[in-house]
Structure 1
Amino acid sequence: MEKRRRSQLYFKLFWTYTAIALVIVSVLTIYFMYLSKRSVLRQNQEEREHISANAAEYIRETEERVDYLYQDLYRSSSELEDLLSYFTLDPEEYQQWSLDRYSASSALVYKGIYNFITEAFEAYQELEKVELIGYNDLRMTECYPDKIFYPGKSGKGKINAFRDGTYGEEGKLVYVREIRNPNTMAQEGCMVFTFEGKAVFEKIRRNSEYTGLFVNFQGQQPVFEENLQADTKYDSVKKETVGEYEVCTLLNQKAASRLSVSAFFTILGVGVLVMILGILLIAHDVGRFTARVDTILDTMNQVATGDLQARVDIRNRKDELDMLADHFNNMCEKLNLYINKSYLAEIEKKNAQMQALQSQINPHFLYNTLEAIRMKAICNGDREVGKMLYSMVTLFRSQLKETDIITLGQELDYCKQYLELFEYRYKGIFRSEVSCEPELLSVPIIKFVLQPVVENYFIHGIDRGREDNCVRIWAERNQGSLTLFVRDNGCGMTEAEIAEKNRLLRENPKDKDKKTSIGLSNVNRRIKAVYGEEYGISIEAAKPQGLLVKVTIKIEDKIEEMEVHEESHACGR
């Protein structure tokens, strides 16, 4: 029954992941086919844009060339004068006029209209024909490259076509420019320029399978039409007008987005290959997964039968099964330790309770012993030692009996007693001053915030070689805060040391060294824990020498509120 369940887990996971992989690969295959079709369509659209731009650019270039020739003719007075004479004179009169004009000139080459046209054919290879038509007698001359001219033809048909707007020719680009006499502004005739169109447009559209190109004249006469199928519906048409010509490019987007057979089977083959590899990988991973699950189940069965030494082999893959195996092993170890050591743990608990009680008795014993020594010193007449012991006994009493929250007056009294001890020790070379306004004596504060600061002075700041060592303590109120000042004239600190110490006090790092917990950092942490991060201790250099330590706390309205803060801080410690 157990084996059948495990095989069911394997096949359930295998077919579930296989179905998911099949759906993902199918969706990706369809998506890649869609992207490929979009890419093919975009390429064909770009090719259509390229064809349209090239066709329009060729028409624009031919028109610009005609305009340049037309303007160049007017810049050449000799050739323009010859053309006007050609239009207004009879052929015999024009022949005689041109001979007389050539004889009178010193030029080797006669600068007439025929020479102008010959140079135009040489400059522009696409220019096929130029026609000259005079309005006076409708006489027309056809000019071709290689200095081939056919004069004496009738231009009546051309003139009628010009008036009707039907002078376009299939496969050609035709432009008409009228010639005016610059003196009288009378229209004397026209020049008709014919450029090659079909061969150029075929070359432009040559490699496009899906783009149709259509060029017409004035929207009526077709000039070029290629790759347009009557039974095909073109759903994308782009039109561009250049002068008197209109360029139309047509695209069947459905056909233009069709994938090639090779591309289709390539994407399909890759999808099938990925699916096969995915199934093999799923079978391998699911087999490894179910094998690890079987190992965990076997170990659980061993523990269930009473073998608490059984452990699951962890393979360091750091996945959920390894975490489960690790927790299971830890559970077995803790269960075994609990069973073996529950009695010893109870004994150790009682020993710890006894040690806690003993640690409370030790300070009381020291306090009582000091009190007995003080009384003995008084009985022996040594009152100075008695006063010193009294100050020390008072400090011990305040540490043992009073709460953590006291008034500022009490804190200053403890500090005075502590300073008196050192005045006895350094008699004649040390003195102290403690002052405070009466209205501030009742302000509640946490106890022992000044004694560590003063102690720090006696450790690091006092100069035993001098006789004017002094510590001055006073308090000032500033709105909602109270600042206690401790100023000395001792050895002091360098500016770098002061800056570093202030940085540590601001950042308030947790000091893991228990020996330093009674110093400035401990007081600073207690103040910040009770009053907030904006309060604490800061250090400045005193003038002319020594240090000025500022202890800033918040003024609380009620002692009960501070006791709550201090209790929370004590729990945190």
Structure 2
Amino acid sequence: MIYYGIALALFTTIGTLFFSIYSYRNFQQELVLTQDYAISQTTTLFNENLNVADSISDYVSENGEHIDNIRQYLQSSPAKYASFTLDQTDRTGEYFNWPMTSQLFYIKHPNMEKLVITFFNQYSAFKAEKGNGGYKTSAKKALSNDLIYSPIVDPRIQSAVGLVGTSFKKEVLLNKFRNINNHKYLSMLIVNTDDRILYKYFGKSVTKEQRNHIKNIVSKGHLNFSPHEYLIRSSWIDDDYRIITLIPKNVSLTASLNRILPIALSGILVEVLLVVIFVFTFKSYRRQLDAIIKTTRQVSENHLNVRVSSDNLVYDDLADLSTNIDSMLDAIKRYINEVYQIKILQQETQMKALQSQINPHFMANTLEYIRMAALDIGARDLAKVVYNFAALLRGNVDNKVMSTLKQEVDLVKNYIYLYQVRFPDKLAYQIKFDPQISQIEIPRFSLQPIVENYFVHGVDFTNAMNAIEINARKIENRIVIDIIDNGHPMSEERLQEINSYFTTDEIVANSVGLRNVYLRMANYTKNFEMKIANNQYDGVTVTMFFDV
């Protein structure tokens, strides 16, 4: 019993260690995804505001009359500007009043916060905020680091004569960040090519010390952040602006420990409880089980008349097991007596036949007993595992050469299910086929070896992105079966090597199973073809074709 305790402790320790490593790596990936999503959302919003600035500058640059009107507004008194506007209207037929027009941009672009227009070599500038109608101010006061600029081009001279500056509401970006996992650890800067800061964001878990450290680096004018201290992700926008996201690396370790510690403590508690249960509950069970093992060992030493005594067995399952073993021993003794009566020349053949009768029957009975015992104690998941395993064994011992497509699919389902039980939430599969072709016959074990190849060479159970799909359909008079996975792609040389050797006698390493599938399908189906190719899911697709 002490070995069970040691094994359980070792298993719990390894499981906790594995979970710790997995949790740490998974959290690292979550942080990278957080940064990428923040960059994506910021890029989208920033591009929208770039387009706003460009659309306003395009409108102003549409003709020289707009430029002259705005200049007149900046240089003149209100009365003189009104007179100029009326004269311009009589001359062009278009009424253009810049303060009124500027407010239309706020209606069209509700996320815009500020609008600034200034011309080169001019001290005055126009500055407007939503609802205030705009006003004249000095260019020095109007221009600021948080504006996105677009040039005003005078079409009469084809040259830039001024700038349009816009800024967006910071609340829009903050609302997007609130929907991002782990945004509280995130720091973000938007800078131009001169490392001028347009916008900065600090999550609520970014400490004052970390903020001061980032601001200190920014104040030096060179944004050189150490990759040893931060997870750094950056992206350029329109070659003029750069988004930089930072997450301190010590966050990963701290957050992972916070996740792991409760589970580790729970694991230790469960381990202690289970050990106590094992010691005090199954001590008697072990003694009775040892008595059964002793009997079977005596039988293996040719004491064929020994039987298990079920009188002193307290546990019903052990009593049932001993009864089944006694029945099996009686059957074995009868079969041995029958074998000895067979002629010596037929002995080997008859023994193999006898074995093929005993083993599957005994395995099926034993597995069914285990399944029913699991159902009795409410372990339905275990019962389902035993059922699928028994179904897989029954398929293995069946001597039939052919089976239906549905039977082959069911065999594959049982096979995949056993993997899903071992690695829950890390494997997905999908099987689709036209019910009209479900009874079409193909050689047994034509699909399972291909699926098994995926589990041997392609599955990575350290992540939760493993998937396999089987798609069978009828196209005119041909059956097409695709087996698609997302394991690992092959090199073009390897694909060409495997695809070309199906019709030759050459043996390619690690491809014997595929060759056997090809030969059996080619022997029992019409015009069979088989192709292997890389797919869009970074995995491999095996396609089989044959006539019906």
TM-score (norm: length of structure 2): 0.45
TM-score (norm: length of structure 1): 0.43
In our comparison, the structure showing a higher alpha carbon Rg is 1
